[in-house]
A and B are shown apart, each in its own frame.
Chain A
Amino acid sequence: MQKIPNWADVVLVPLISLLLAAIISAIVLLIIGQNPIEALGILITGALGTSTNLSYTLYYTTNFIFTGLAVAVAYHARLFNIGAEGQAYIGGLGAALACLYVPWPHWTIALIGAGATAAIFGAAWAAIPAYLQAKRGSHIVITTIMFNYISYPLLNYLLNGPIKAEGMEAATPSFASNTHLPNLSEVLGFFGIEFARTGPANVALIVALIACVGVWALIWRTKLGYETRAYGESEPAAKYAGINPTKIIMVAMLISGGLAGMMAINNVMGEAERLVLNAVEGAGFIGIAVALMGRNHPFGILLAALLFGALYQGGAELSAEMRIPREMVTVIQALVILFTGALDNMVRMPIEKIFLMIRNNKEAN
Chain B
Amino acid sequence: MDLLALFDIAVLDGTVRLAVPLLLACLAGLFSERAGVFDIGLEGKMLISAFFAAAVSFETGNVWIGLFAGIASSVVLSLLHGLASITFRGNQLISGVAINFFASGITVIAAQAWFGQGGRTPSLSGDARFDPIVFPGALTKIREIMKADWGMKVYSELLSGHTIIAYAAIFIVPLVWWVLYRTRFGLRLRAVGENPGAVDTAGISVQRMRYSAVIICGVLTGIAGAYLSTGIQAGFVREMTAGRGYIALAALIFAKWRPWYALGATLLFGYLQALAIRPDILERAIGIKVQTQVLDALPYVLTVIVLAGFVGKAIPPRAGGEAYVKER
* A→B interface (CB under 8 Å): 28, 31-33, 80, 82, 128, 132, 136-139, 141-143, 145-147, 149-150, 152-154, 156-157, 161, 285, 288, 292, 323-325, 327-331, 333-335, 337-338, 341-346, 349
Contacts and interface: CB of A to CB of B under 8 A. Distances in A.
20 contacts: A28-B106, A32-B109, A32-B112, A132-B304, A132-B307, A142-B303, A142-B307, A145-B246, A146-B304, A147-B304, A149-B246, A156-B293, A325-B119, A330-B102, A331-B106, A341-B97, A342-B84, A343-B88, A346-B83, A346-B84
Contacts of A328: 105, 109
Given A132-B304, A136-B309, A338-B102, A32 B40 contact: no
Nearest to B38: A141
A32 B115 CA distance: 11
Interface string B107-123: 01110110000010000
Contacts of B89: 345
Q: Which of B40, B112, B307 has the most CB of A within 10 A?
A: B307
Contacts of B309: 136-138
A323 B301 CA distance: 40
A80 B297 contact: no
B253 interface: yes
B308 A333 contact: no
A292 B90 CA distance: 13
A218 to B, nearest CB: 24
B102 A146 contact: no
Given A146-B250, A146-B307, A343-B83, 12 more contacts: A136-B308, A138-B308, A147-B304, A157-B293, A288-B97, A324-B109, A327-B119, A330-B105, A334-B101, A342-B94, A343-B90, A346-B90
Interface string B125-150: 00000000000000000000000000
A162 to B, nearest CB: 11
A324 B113 CA distance: 9
Given A329-B105, A334-B102, A139 B307 contact: yes
Contacts of A156: 293, 296
Contacts of A147: 300, 304
Contacts of B80: 338
Nearest to B85: A342
Contact of A338 (B95, B106, B300): B95
Contact of A342 (B95, B106, B249): B95
Interface of B: 40, 80, 83-85, 88-95, 97-102, 104-106, 108-110, 112-113, 119, 243, 246, 249-250, 253, 291, 293-294, 296-297, 300-301, 303-304, 307-309, 316
Given A331-B109, A343-B88, A149 B300 contact: yes
B98 to A, nearest CB: 4
Contacts of A333: 101, 105
Contacts of B83: 343, 346
Given A82-B97, A288-B97, A341 B304 contact: no
Contact of B84 (A128, A145, A292, A338): A338
B277 to A, nearest CB: 14
Given A136-B309, A154-B293, A334-B98, A141 B93 contact: yes
User: Is chain B's binding surface mostly helix, strand, loop or mixed?
Assistant: helix
B88 A345 contact: yes
A33 to B, nearest CB: 7
B97 A327 contact: no
A281 B296 CA distance: 20
A327 B105 contact: yes
Given A136-B309, A157-B291, A337 B101 contact: yes
A288 B93 CA distance: 11
A141 B119 CA distance: 30
Nearest to B309: A136
Contacts of B95: 338, 341-343
Contact of B113 (A33, A138, A146, A152): A33
A343 B84 contact: yes
Contacts of B90: 341-346
A102 B91 CA distance: 45
Contacts of B85: 342
A145 B91 contact: no
A24 B304 CA distance: 38
Nearest to A131: B308
A155 to B, nearest CB: 9
B94 A337 contact: yes
Q: Which of A138, A143, A288, A349 has the most CB of B within 10 A?
A: A138
A331 B113 contact: no
Contacts of A139: 307, 316
A136 B310 CA distance: 10
A58 to B, nearest CB: 24
Contact of A142 (B105, B119, B249): B249
Contacts of B316: 139
Nearest to B301: A150
Contacts of A327: 104-106, 108-109, 119
Contacts of A33: 113
A323 to B, nearest CB: 8
Contact of B88 (A132, A161, A346): A346
Contact of A285 (B40, B101, B113, B119): B101
Contacts of B296: 152-153, 156
A281 to B, nearest CB: 13
A327 to B, nearest CB: 4
Contact of B98 (A137, A145, A152, A341): A341
9 closest A-B pairs by CB = A330-B105, A342-B95, A334-B101, A341-B94, A32-B113, A153-B293, A334-B102, A331-B105, A342-B84
Nearest to A128: B304
B276 to A, nearest CB: 9
